[in-house]
Chains A and B, each alone.
Chain A
């Protein structure tokens, strides 16, 4: 439909309509992006600049950008007396010198990197599992007559309707019994079970679109069903599998409710960790903003990659373009 409307079409919006519509949407987009821009700007401010009134907006004009926020994100520091600082050898690295300028020394690395790595491991692990299981099940549902197919598919979807806190109560008890509390493997299994419903529904849609004739032809040529699945269906579904994987990844990356209730240390992911980054005397907003920025960048990249499949992903495959 896009682009093939002709100039003389009676339904083509007039130039004025387009101009007005365009301006309103641009205004909305600008308004809605302010919080995101503010996250990035806060990340490169010093703590006093970040809470100044009126707000400092333009870097190098209103405030001098600094990597202090990132230093504070990655390190823990402690305040020392000038006499003690004078006895220390010269500072190594930017973060150390930044700290020295404030009468502090870097004590250790912060927990941000381990938490971020937990997010990466859990997101990748659960995505790989969910997509693997989802692809098999989707193929099963798409190509074979399964008894109670509609009921099973609805059951798979309905597991996603449960409030996470309600699910967390028995999971908490179960994981305590099994020793899976605060473990990456426990979180991977949990996120897999949430994501697999999305994966089955999305992938079933993608596989339904691959003509059955391809496999039939391959099977007539002597492929077994499994070979046909591997060598014909999987390559055809590659785009759909990739899109599904990104959706699963985004869910696992963003998830908070299970993470905050079921992890506290070793397996804690970034979302429950970022809100509790504190500095001297309350929340260290540049550090929080720096942590948030780093955490959001992968999602921004994924969103741009996914934009053609977004609609399908967010509606469980109910709406296709």
Chain B
């Protein structure tokens, strides 16, 4: 019996005193049965909608299957798709775009988010209300709000261009956030940071609030400067939280699809074509199902591998 100490002994006593069938009737189902009845539906659902499709994807990745021609003869291509993807410069370009996007947005969001959290932790009046206000963007649909940003980014009529023009004095139609090869990656990073800086901020705030006051009091007694307190107490103690935020943002941004699809659709050219957009083009526009299945598997292994390495690093920081 795998029960809690007190009731376990009770049930064991009862079990010894009465025949098993009678115990079953009196106490209802056994704990083991209940555990499995409770857990099985969730596992079955995940097996049906996540694992079975995953296995199917792996199988398709070795074939030349095309979803728009289901009756065409199926040919086994072995590892050809994997070989093609790993040597295809376009795929590497997409991976580079993704990596740059992930790194730029994480750096901006972490610095800004930590700074905001540190400021809010000064506990001025109204900080609770302001926190809720700041958090609003991250709760909204990235697709629906991202779509509205294309309006803000319009060269002549967009509010974003107007405000930039108003502050800097350059004409509002002289730059195109979404049409310019140099600016469009930053246009996406900006919207992403607008949405997700609050997320990093919220996690950092929890980290800062987890540091007990007495540590700072002791540092004050030892006459450590505020600067030194920040580097030796605040930052190290908040670090596991910062890393957690980076982990979550990293995985989410690696998968990024909605916002990019609506803001630029991967353009201009392929300057903002992140991996998810390439995958969508291959799978649902060119209908190269087998090829895109192989790419999907590579992406999944990449996320999974990176997340695993990162979680290990996270645990090391935590245990320090």
Which residues of A are in contact with B by a Cβ distance under 8 Å? 1-2, 5, 9-11, 13, 17-19, 21-22, 24-26, 28-29, 32-36, 38-39, 42, 51-55, 133-134, 136-137, 139-141, 143-146, 152, 155-156, 158-159, 161-174, 176, 189-190, 192-193, 196-197, 200, 212, 216, 219-220, 224-227, 250, 253-257, 260-261, 270-272, 274-275, 283, 285, 288-289, 292, 295-296, 299-300, 302-304, 307, 310-311, 314-315, 318-319, 321
Whether, in the assembled complex, B101 has its beta carbon less than 8 Å from a beta carbon of chain A, the answer is no
Are A271 and B42 neighbours in the complex by a CB distance under 8 Å? no
Q: Which residue of B lies closest to A216 (CB)?
A: B7
CB < 8 Å A-B pair total: 310
List which B245-274 residues lie within 8 A (CB) of chain A. Answer: 248, 251, 254-255, 257-258, 261-262
Jot down 17 A-B pairs with beta carbons below 8 A, ordered by A: A21-B122, A29-B133, A42-B151, A136-B37, A162-B303, A163-B300, A166-B57, A170-B56, A200-B42, A216-B7, A256-B258, A271-B258, A275-B144, A285-B151, A289-B151, A292-B145, A296-B145
Contact with A along B113-136 (1 / 0, CB 8 A): 000100110111111001111111
- Among A152, A166, A197, A318, the one with the most B-chain Cβ atoms within 10 Å of its Cβ is A166
The distance in angstroms between the C-alpha atoms of A15 and B307, with both chains bound, is 43
- Asked whether B84 is an interface residue with its Cβ less than 8 Å from the other chain, the reply is no
Instruction: State in angstroms the CA–CA spacing of A212 and B5 once bound together.
Output: 11
Chain B residue numbers with a CB within 8 Å of A146 are 35, 39
Known: A133-B42, A152-B43, A321-B206. A169 touches B296 (CB 8 A): yes
Residues of A within 8 A of B67 (CB): 169, 172-173, 176
Query: Which residues on the B side are within 8 Å of A29 (C-beta)?
Result: 130, 133-134
A173 to B125, CA, bound (A): 55
Instruction: Tell me, yes or no, whether B199 is within 8 Å of chain A by CB.
Output: yes
- What is the bound-complex CA distance between A158 and B122, given in angstroms? 37
4 nearest CB pairs, A to B? A170-B53, A166-B296, A256-B143, A140-B38
- Chain A residues with Cβ below 8 Å from B209 are 1, 321
Indicate if the CB atoms of A159 and B122 lie closer than 8 Å. Answer: no
**Nearest chain A CB to B235 CB, angstrom units:** 16
Query: B110 contacts the other chain (Cβ, under 8 Å)?
Result: no
Partner of B136, one of A26, A51, A300: A300
* Cβ-based interface call for B4 (8 A): yes
Q: A254 touching B244 by the CB < 8 A rule?
A: no
User: Which residues in window 164-184 of B have CB below 8 A to A?
Assistant: 172
Hey, which chain B residues are within 8 Å of A169, CB to CB?
53, 57, 60, 67, 283, 289, 292-293, 296
Q: Known contacts being A21-B120, A21-B122, A156-B46, is A166 close to B279, with CB within 8 Å? A: yes
Would you give the shortest CB distance from B3 to chain A, in whole angstroms?
Answer: 9
Which of B32, B51, B138, B244 is the one whose CB lies under 8 Å from A318?
A: B244
In angstroms, how far is the closest chain A Cβ from the Cβ of B302? 10
Q: Which of B159, B206, B251 contacts A161 (CB 8 A)?
A: B251
For A32, A34, A134, A189, the residue with the greatest tally of chain B CB atoms inside 10 Å of its CB is A32
Nearest CB in chain B: distance from A294 CB, A: 11
Tell whether, in the assembled complex, residue A319 and residue B206 are in contact, meaning their CB atoms are under 8 Å apart.
yes
